[in-house]
Amino acid sequence: MSGALRFEIEARDGQARVGRVTTARGSFETPCFMPVGTRGTVKAMTSADVEALGYEVVLANTYHLMMRPGSGLVRRLGGIHAFTGWDGHILSDSGGFQVFSLSPQVDDEGVTFQSTYDGSYQRLTPESAVAIQVELGTDIQMVLDVCSSLPSTPEVLRLALERTADWARRARDAHPGGTQALFGIVQGGDDPELRAESARITAGLGFDGYGIGGLSVGESREAMLISLEAAVAELPLDAPRYLMGVGDPIGLVEGIARGVDMFDCVLPTRLGRHGTALTSAGRLSLRSAAHAEDPGPIDPECPCPVCARWSRAFIRHLLSVGEPTGGSLVSRHNLAWLRSLVKRASAAVAAGTLGELREQVGRTWAAGGP
């Protein structure tokens, strides 16, 4: 471990825990959901918007920022926090998931891929991924990993596991230390034995925290949770665990119940931009004609600034005429609603009643949830 991060557990309920992560920048509560600011901003929102909702950590993406505007430019302008106007914590994904969606050429040393921006061929290695994230100046960086699609053969999953482990070791050795924390990543697909093996290897390398990647990529919920349990069982108790790319209501609550501390997902803002809201009654399509004359808020039980001020009818009007403000308002509501759900989960862990919340969320979202 680099010593750049400290994690303290403050309450437990079974495997679930409430804690606090402390870095040189300050601290943030866990469990936490991290809005995705791929290119340095959460889509259709400003840093001030996200800050006003109470978020303490956002995610930025190494692949996109290394391509545009370039990590060197970000460094010259004072680092990612000064560049984006965000004073809270920033975690940078290594870009591995995005790169592997581009059908790259992978070898033991790294990955070669074609940029979606200009068609140029680019090379990413465990060492260069670390160096780029150092230039960005994020608070937490992720190692470069091999993310296999599911389903995959045992041979493909085994090779991905071995390369991810080797790349994690190389990233750890290349990391310069200082105030930037480094998280390893567990792979293994939907095979619980491979998940446990990957977690043991990654934990043995000694990181500040541990990401669990390559889940929620097409496998069933049951398969995801079984693989998650296998990984978590092998990870240290005194380090934060981060379930990458999961942010639906059931996934959040079930992940928390299994000892996960950090989550990220594009789901709340992607749904919001298309006019779908997360509510206490489940998903709500605000594009429906049923809301054309509805003076009520998106969710009567939600105290967020959007629900306090604007009606379903107005937001539907904005969406219907293609006004970007509509998607921005629904995105803001969705992020507020999701943060409220995580806060409720934290309170339930502290009170020892997380099981009741799991049942409630399961009933609401099992049919027709995201």
Burial bucket for residue 219 (CB in 10 Å: 0-12, 13-18, 19+): middle
Pairing of strands 209-212, 57-61: unpaired
* pLDDT in the model for residue 100: 83
Provide CATH code, domain 6-265: 3.20.20.105
Could you tell me if residue 332 is left (phi over 0), alpha (psi between -120 and 50 degrees) or otherwise beta?
Answer: alpha
**pLDDT of res. 346:** 98
Specify the DSSP class assigned to residue 77.
T
**What is the residue whose two structure tokens read 């934060």?**
240
Distance from C-alpha of 337 to C-alpha of 124, rounded to nearest angstrom: 37
In this prediction, residue 95 carries a pLDDT of 83
For 12, the 3-state DSSP assignment is: strand
- d(CA 181, CA 2) in angstroms, rounded, equals 6
Q: How far apart are CA 138 and CA 115, in angstroms?
A: 23
Give the amino acid at 33: F
Q: Using one digit for the tens of pLDDT, what is the confidence trace for 116-168?
A: 999 999 999 999 999 999 999 999 999 999 998 899 999 999 999 999 999 99
Q: How far apart are CA 63 and CA 68, in angstroms?
A: 9
In angstroms, how far is CA 101 from the centroid of its own chain?
A: 17
Torsion of CA 146, 151, 156, 162, to 10 degrees: 40
Quick check: 370 pLDDT over 60? no
Bridge partner residues of 115 (DSSP): none
Question: What is the average pLDDT value for the chain, to the nearest integer?
Answer: 96
Could you tell me if 330 and 272 are in contact, meaning their C-beta atoms sit under 8 angstroms apart? yes
CB 5 within 8 A of CB 23: yes
Instruction: For 80-109, write each residue's pLDDT tens digit.
Output: 999 999 999 999 999 888 888 898 999 999
Residues designated catalytic: 93, 264
Q: What is the mean pLDDT of residues 229-233?
A: 98
Question: Per-domain residue ranges for the chain?
Answer: 6-265, 272-361
Average pLDDT over residues 339-349: 98
CB atoms within 10 A of CB 233: 15
- Cα 63 to Cα 99, 186, 211, 228, distances in angstroms: 7, 20, 18, 26
| Greater model confidence, 368 or 321 | 321
Q: In this structure, are residues 291 and 270 in contact, taking their beta carbons and an 8 Å threshold? A: no
Q: Of the candidates 217, 117, 89, 108, which has an alpha carbon nearest to the alpha carbon of residue 162? A: 108
Give the separation between CA 287 and CA 292, rounded to whole angstroms. 9
